[in-house]
Amino acid sequence: MLMDLCELSPSYVRSIAPYQPGKPISELARELGLKEEGIIKLASNENPRGIGPRTRAAIEASIAEVARYPDGNGFELKQALARRYGVDMGAIVLGNGSNDVLELVALAFLGPGRAGVYSQHAFAVYPLATQARGARSIVVPAKNYAHDLDAMAKAIDDETYVVWLANPNNPTGTFARGEEIEAFLRKVPERVIVVLDEAYNEYLTPDLRAGSIKWLKRHPNLVITRTFSKAYGLAGLRVGYALAHPTVADVMNRVRQPFNVNSMALAAAAAALDDMEFVARSYADNLQGMKQLEEGARSLKLEFIPSHGNFITIKVGKAAEVYKRLLKRGVIVRPIAGYGLPEHLRVTVGTAAENDKFLSALAASFRE
């Protein structure tokens, strides 16, 4: 009899529930026999603006070098980030998306007999990364959909080595102000790594941008993660980074694959970082689009969770059903029952036309 090869992996790996990505446009087109052009995807918090011309030019120029391995240390991108944020290059860890950097934290600091703390409704990679290392998850109930930072600080036990915070959080879009995060950091013992995941930082209004980077000096256990996937429009190339104390960055770099960020991604990210105008436009578009979706939800008398990201989570009732009806109309959004929110759908802010199409499809789905 054939052996169940799955049994060979540790039980904590076998019990992992795989990450559920947004449905690709091509998949829905195949399933429903629709034309790809008629489908919109507002399911993965991507940038509807695409990329700017300078970033495109950098990507095109990088094609000439694809036969060579990339610079495994990402010198140019690190130099640009170090300049931008006033940190040493040794304080930066580059990743294949910020997802990779989150995994590096887990690889470096978690394992059997250790624990990671995160909030209910927090970004799905925290449970995945914690569990894949055989570490225990300590899940803290959310308060009004948001991280309950006091309860999270209290939940830290002797086995806790990592606390995961998403600010803003995905999929709730909730946000904790700088003072609250600082107060939290003061409560956390120095031996516990605090990951402050700021994937949506560029979408915050200026008054809310806390300047978390200055906290790194006071809190050597702080790891800030950011990404080029959202406001910079580079989700498909996969590049993100962590800023941390050089000792922490060093440990993370030891468990990193030598060439974890590809050469096109490195070139694109360096160019995108420089294109402040593109990011500013993405920010402005997002504010506008968010307003459109909020007004649309209000006019359909639907509750939503006020969001600080480039997405909004709307309470639609039987979300799995509504999701399917939207698919039939060529609109892909994200069901989030897996996050403990079976009545909500998460919708990425798209272009004005996409937001309109989503809102009309949603209204029509309620009339069905």
Which residues contact ligand PLP by CB under 6 A? 45, 97-99, 123, 166, 170, 197, 199, 227, 229, 235, 240
The minimum distance between CB 240 and ligand PLP, in angstroms, equals 4
Query: Mind giving me the DSSP string for 2-34?
Result: ---GGGGS-HHHHTPPPP-PPPPHHHHHHHHT-
309-323 as b/e: b if 16+ CB within 10 A: bbbbbbebeebeebb
* CB nearer to ligand PLP: pick between 123 and 161: 123
Q: Is 95 helix (H, G, I), strand (E, B) or coil?
A: strand
* CB nearer to ligand PLP: pick between 196 and 319: 196
CB 202 within 8 A of CB 227: no
The minimum distance between CB 238 and ligand PLP, in angstroms, equals 6
Q: Is 295 helix (H, G, I), strand (E, B) or coil?
A: helix
The minimum distance between CB 97 and ligand PLP, in angstroms, equals 3
CB 101 within 8 A of CB 241: yes
For residue 116, what is the DSSP state?
E
* CB nearer to ligand PLP: pick between 117 and 166: 166
What is the signed CA dihedral for 129, 110, 96, 84, rounded to 10 degrees? 120
CB 259 within 8 A of CB 70: yes
* CB nearer to ligand PLP: pick between 268 and 329: 268
The minimum distance between CB 364 and ligand PLP, in angstroms, equals 28
* CB nearer to ligand PLP: pick between 221 and 229: 229
Nearest to residue 292, comparing CAs of 245, 210, 242, 353? 353
* CB nearer to ligand PLP: pick between 270 and 325: 270
Nearest to residue 149, comparing CAs of 131, 170, 122? 122
The minimum distance between CB 226 and ligand PLP, in angstroms, equals 8
* Residue of this chain nearest to ligand PLP (CB atom): 97
The minimum distance between CB 350 and ligand PLP, in angstroms, equals 15
Pairing of strands 193-197, 222-227: parallel
The minimum distance between CB 173 and ligand PLP, in angstroms, equals 10
* CB nearer to ligand PLP: pick between 160 and 227: 227
